[in-house]
Homo-oligomer: A and B are copies of this chain.
């Protein structure tokens, strides 16, 4: 990458993204001020000016733009020995794109700031870009810009833009007592995959894939807004932690039903495999918990993944009582009066386990 330089990398990235629905105009594009008209008829997000100018120009037909920025850091959110470059691209894009969906908006554009060591192979950056572009396409968005720099490890700061298409934004602060609490998308699978990777295991493969390439349910966000969701968030830090943000912002208590959050057989299989690896001393240094504490049982591990595992980027939302929800929205609890600590309970009680996300190597971050 050092030899290629910043301008070379931009050209590489533009070449990978290519023309088409999610395409970009190259640095040498000469459409001039008429691009708006030229682009208006395109399918997909309307990129009026793409990569290669001082800034990109993207259609914002609603008259409002939704925007969010998230880091994805090597060693914290991914490891190069556990994830391919394309995996990292998918994860970086997914992590940001879902933030816009969690407001009830449709993702439209992504800006990617990439810092990387000078010896990063160009092929790695190219595959990263392919992953970013692929996940953008799945969400209906496009990579529209970015920046590159050298750094000691790989770091991405990804900004997503989105369009509300006339909807009111769904905030964290609108939950009211009596509302249903529901979730769309997987819970606990990315955390299970992380535990499997840390234990050196490669089955069940679907859970490893969930950790490497989360597949958030983007269209469930605007769907929830249309259904009248009163509050919404994406599950990035763990279900209890993220619903805790809704509880705090709304001044309510959220009570989950343990019976609605029973880990399925795939998670239990993974938990048993991790427990067996632990008995055989195969747990890597990223295993969780204090070495002196007794290990959780497999059932406890699996439940912890569901309640406290991050990175699935499922959506959690509250809906007025009686809302008829499509099947992918599973009711998991109810909003109650009151506020305080804990803001989220399970069957009326504080959950005894840890509520936060197991970072890859939180103790080692510098």
Interface residues of A (CB under 8 A from B): 27-36, 48-49, 52-71, 73, 76, 99-100, 102-103, 105, 109, 111-113, 115, 117-118, 144-152, 155, 157, 159-162, 164, 168-174, 232-234, 245, 248-251, 365-366
CB distance from A42 to the nearest CB of B (A): 14
- A33-B169, A174-B33 given as contacts; is B111 within 8 A of A69 (CB)? yes
How far, in angstroms, from A52 to B172 measured CA to CA in the complex?
9
Asked if A28 contacts B152 (CB within 8 A), the reply is no
How far, in angstroms, from A137 to B168 measured CA to CA in the complex?
27
26 CB-based A-B contacts, threshold 8 Å? A27-B245, A28-B251, A29-B171, A33-B174, A54-B68, A54-B100, A54-B102, A54-B233, A55-B105, A57-B164, A59-B63, A60-B62, A60-B64, A61-B63, A67-B109, A67-B111, A67-B144, A67-B161, A68-B145, A69-B159, A71-B147, A73-B115, A118-B365, A151-B155, A151-B366, A152-B366
How far, in angstroms, from A291 to B314 measured CA to CA in the complex?
58
- A56-B66, A169-B57 given as contacts; is B49 within 8 A of A149 (CB)? no
Asked if B65 contacts A58 (CB within 8 A), the reply is yes
Beyond A29-B173, A113-B159, 9 extra complex contacts between A and B, CB < 8 Å:
A28-B248, A36-B64, A52-B249, A54-B232, A54-B233, A55-B105, A55-B160, A57-B64, A57-B65
